[in-house]
Amino acid sequence: MYLWLKAFHIIFMVTWFAGLFYLPRLYVYHAMPENRSSFELFKVMERRLFAIMTIGAVLAAVFGLAMLALNWRYLLAATHWFHLKLLLVAALVAYHYACYRLMAAFRNDANTHDHKWYRWFNEAPSVLLIIVVILAVLKPF
């Protein structure tokens, strides 16, 4: 049962990260004044992508918590790698919420950032993904 939970946790984590990677990229294009004619289309795309990535995030959390429930003694007794992973997942949830706030600003035509800012903002989930995967696979400490 644990391996099935892990498989679905990974599947929905990938779904979530697809949105975390692509939504800020949409923001890059949405923030460029030369794309003004496509702003309404960007709003629709952003809203739909946010819904899909939120479903992925929720289901990744559900399957992750189910794995934790089945194996809580090991995971809580694990050295600090697991605690750090949970902290980084919390940072990803905060990033997800920041994406929502930015989407709301675009929806209300109240964006305050330029496309260069969004290019940097877009890098955060990549860095966090690399660290989380290394922690989960190598369990370095």
30 is in an annotated binding site: no
* Residue carrying the six token digits 């496509």: 38
Q: How far is CA 109 from CA 31, 37, 119, 129, in A?
A: 10, 13, 19, 31
- The burial class, CB within 10 Å (0-12 / 13-18 / 19+), for 31 is buried
9 is in an annotated binding site: yes
Whole-number Å distance between alpha carbons of 122 and 134: 20
Q: Where is the binding site for heme, in residues?
A: 9, 85
Q: Where is the binding site, in residues?
A: 9, 85
